[in-house]
Amino acid sequence: MAERGAPGATPLEGLCDSFLTRLAVEEGLSPRTVEAYAGDLRHLRDHLRERGIERVERVTRHDLSAIALYLDERSMAASSRARVLVSVRRLMRYAEELGLVGADPIEALRAPKQSRTLPRILAAEETVALIEAAHTNDPIGLRDVAMLETLYGAGLRVTELVTLPLSAIDRRGQLLRVVGKGRKERVVPLGDVASAAIETYLAEARPLLLGDRSDVDHAVFLTRRGRAMTRQNFFARLRQHAIRAGIAGDRVSPHVLRHGFATDLLEGGADLRSIQSMLGHADLSSTEIYTHVSRKRLRETVELRHPRGAGGKR
């Protein structure tokens, strides 16, 4: 291990840059995820700079223990603090691999306890109303319906949806080949309704949106200018459709439809392992939360519909 304070000691900034490069190149994390790590590590560098530390070899157990208080003083939510501590822990493990620090400082990092909040979902009839609100006979309406049906029918993340290439669609087999987090590929089946919406869009709308432009992006979903759809544009369109459907805009997001896909599958009898595979979850514990959502829905149904529930009292 390098001597503390030695001229050849490693600057924190250089270590962070090296670590972020590893995440992008060796682990294949997306640019957005790498940028999130970079933001988290800026908190560490600011914290250590206040303590006069700019070399990783000088970081002690006490320095890392104090970062939790540093984050708390900035009124960060528990989930945000936990994410920062995970990023810092990964950086310090990387430094340990390089022989720059020992294991002792890292043991000081403890993530704060978080309350596990249930994902928001729409009622099935609200989802139907949302999709119907997007129905128009122009190319934009056909595109939006196809995007909503694909999002709800395949449980994609919004980034997976807007970056979906034409080559990802197996039209005969009604399958999507999706590249998700960590560049991991998964195959997701498409139902008849979503497949039909995509077929209509590809035949009647996409050629009009592309016009005489070169198909440089080869993305399934295009803007009016013939380029790949953006997250921001889709978010805005989704909120507009929600308002037309009589649903509060802040209740709707692409992730809400992804949650609806998983919850409705579970309530329809699908097993957790299948849902995990379709969602692209690395860990089954991420999928298990939908069992809690399903139970919550069941309780609400009993309360509303059962003669002895709150809604059935006379």
pLDDT at 55: 86
Query: Which residue has better confidence, 77 or 248?
Result: 248
Hey, how many other C-beta atoms are within 10 angstroms of the C-beta on 6? 10
How far apart, in whole angstroms, are the C-alpha atoms of residue 260 and residue 24? Answer: 31
Highest mean pLDDT among 6-15, 192-201, 260-269: 192-201
Question: Among residues 89, 186, 255, 297, which one is catalytic?
Answer: 255
Question: Among residues 47, 143, 258, 259, which one is catalytic?
Answer: 258
Q: Output the six-digit token pair for 51.
A: 């303590």
157 by Cβ neighbours in 10 Å (0-12 / 13-18 / 19+) ranks as middle
Question: Among residues 51, 181, 231, 239, which one is catalytic?
Answer: 181
Question: Among residues 94, 152, 201, 290, which one is catalytic?
Answer: 290
3-state per-residue secondary structure call for the chain: CCCCCCCCCCEHHHHHHHHHHHHHHCCCCCHHHHHHHHHHHHHHHHHHHHCCCCEHHHCCHHHHHCHHHHHHHCCCCHHHHHHHHHHHHHHHHHHHHCCCCCHHHHCCCCCCCCCCCCCCCCCHHHHHHHHHHCCCCCHHHHHHHHHHHHHHHHCCCHHHHHCCEHHHEECCCCEEEEECHHHCEEEEECCHHHHHHHHHHHHHHHHHHHCCCCCCCCECCECCCCCECCHHHHHHHHHHHHHHCCCCHHHCCHHHHHHHHHHHHHHCCCCHHHHHHHHCCCCHHHHHHHHHHHHHHHHHHHHHHCCCCHHHCC
Does the annotation count 47 as an active-site position?
no
Question: Among residues 61, 157, 231, 297, which one is catalytic?
Answer: 157
* Residue 68 reports pLDDT greater than 80: no
Question: Would you state the CATH architecture of domain 124-305?
Answer: Orthogonal Bundle (1.10)
- Percent of the chain scoring above 90 in pLDDT: 31
For helices 284-305 and 272-279, the axis angle rounded to 10 degrees is: 120
Does the annotation count 184 as an active-site position?
no
Q: Output the six-digit token pair for 21.
A: 């490069």
Does the annotation count 255 as an active-site position?
yes
Highest mean pLDDT among 22-31, 137-146, 154-163, 276-285: 137-146
For helices 124-133 and 139-154, the axis angle rounded to 10 degrees is: 160
Torsion of CA 61, 23, 32, 272, to 10 degrees: -90
pTM: 0.58
How far apart, in whole angstroms, are the C-alpha atoms of residue 67 and residue 47? Answer: 7
Does the annotation count 181 as an active-site position?
yes
How far apart, in whole angstroms, are the C-alpha atoms of residue 185 and residue 311? Answer: 46
Q: Domain locations in the chain?
A: 12-106, 124-305
Does the annotation count 70 as an active-site position?
no
pLDDT at 107: 64
How far apart, in whole angstroms, are the C-alpha atoms of residue 237 and residue 232? Answer: 9
pLDDT in tens, 94-145: 888 888 877 666 665 655 554 555 556 788 888 899 999 999 889 999 999 9
pLDDT bucket at 66, cuts 50 / 70 / 90? confident
Does the annotation count 281 as an active-site position?
yes
Question: What is the CATH code for 12-106?
Answer: 1.10.150.130
| Residue whose pair of structure tokens reads 């970062």 in the numeric block | 67
How far apart, in whole angstroms, are the C-alpha atoms of residue 146 and residue 152? Answer: 10
Same fold, 12-106 and 124-305: no
Listed in sequence order, the residues at least 6 apart from 42 whose beta carbon sits closer than 8 Å to its beta carbon are none
